[in-house]
Amino acid sequence: MLSVFLHDGDHVYRTYSTTSRGVDRLLFVNNILDPAPYGRQEDWEDSPPGWPQHPTCR
Protein backbone atom coordinates (compact mmCIF):
# COMPACT_ATOMS: atom_id res chain seq x y z
CA MET A 1 0.00 0.00 0.00
CA LEU A 2 1.14 3.54 -0.71
CA SER A 3 -0.32 6.50 1.14
CA VAL A 4 0.51 10.19 0.93
CA PHE A 5 -0.23 12.47 3.86
CA LEU A 6 -0.45 16.23 4.33
CA HIS A 7 0.27 17.75 7.73
CA ASP A 8 -1.49 21.10 8.22
CA GLY A 9 -1.21 22.52 11.73
CA ASP A 10 -2.86 20.06 14.12
CA HIS A 11 -4.49 18.09 11.31
CA VAL A 12 -3.15 15.23 9.18
CA TYR A 13 -4.92 14.36 5.93
CA ARG A 14 -4.42 11.31 3.75
CA THR A 15 -4.45 12.85 0.28
CA TYR A 16 -3.71 9.73 -1.78
CA SER A 17 -3.84 5.97 -1.30
CA THR A 18 -3.37 2.98 -3.61
CA THR A 19 -2.79 -0.76 -3.24
CA SER A 20 -1.85 -3.79 -5.28
CA ARG A 21 -0.90 -2.93 -8.88
CA GLY A 22 -1.16 0.78 -8.05
CA VAL A 23 2.32 0.72 -6.51
CA ASP A 24 4.01 -1.12 -9.39
CA ARG A 25 5.80 1.96 -10.73
CA LEU A 26 7.77 2.12 -7.48
CA LEU A 27 9.24 -1.34 -8.09
CA PHE A 28 11.91 -1.08 -10.79
CA VAL A 29 12.05 -4.84 -11.39
CA ASN A 30 8.37 -4.90 -12.43
CA ASN A 31 9.01 -2.14 -14.98
CA ILE A 32 11.68 -4.34 -16.58
CA LEU A 33 9.70 -7.60 -16.42
CA ASP A 34 6.48 -6.26 -17.96
CA PRO A 35 7.83 -6.00 -21.55
CA ALA A 36 10.06 -9.10 -21.19
CA PRO A 37 9.08 -12.24 -23.12
CA TYR A 38 8.27 -14.28 -20.00
CA GLY A 39 6.70 -11.35 -18.12
CA ARG A 40 6.42 -11.47 -14.34
CA GLN A 41 5.43 -15.13 -14.19
CA GLU A 42 2.37 -14.24 -12.15
CA ASP A 43 0.09 -17.13 -11.18
CA TRP A 44 -2.69 -15.76 -13.41
CA GLU A 45 -0.52 -15.40 -16.55
CA ASP A 46 -0.91 -17.95 -19.34
CA SER A 47 2.39 -19.02 -20.91
CA PRO A 48 2.68 -20.72 -24.31
CA PRO A 49 3.61 -24.43 -24.28
CA GLY A 50 7.29 -24.91 -23.49
CA TRP A 51 7.67 -21.60 -21.67
CA PRO A 52 8.53 -21.68 -17.96
CA GLN A 53 5.66 -20.99 -15.57
CA HIS A 54 6.88 -20.53 -12.02
CA PRO A 55 4.66 -19.64 -9.07
CA THR A 56 4.79 -16.02 -7.98
CA CYS A 57 7.14 -15.46 -5.04
CA ARG A 58 5.41 -13.84 -2.12
List, for residues 20-44, the tens digit of each pLDDT value.
Answer: 777 777 777 777 777 777 777 777 7
Q: What is the pLDDT of residue 53?
A: 67
The confidence score (pLDDT) of residue 41 equals 75
Q: Which residues contact 30 (CB under 8 A, 6 or more apart)?
A: 24, 40
Locate the domains of the chain by residue range.
2-33
Sign of CA dihedral 44, 49, 51, 57: positive
Average pLDDT of the segment spanning 9-15: 95
Q: Is pLDDT at 13 greater than 90 in this prediction? A: yes
Whole-model pTM above 0.85? Answer: no
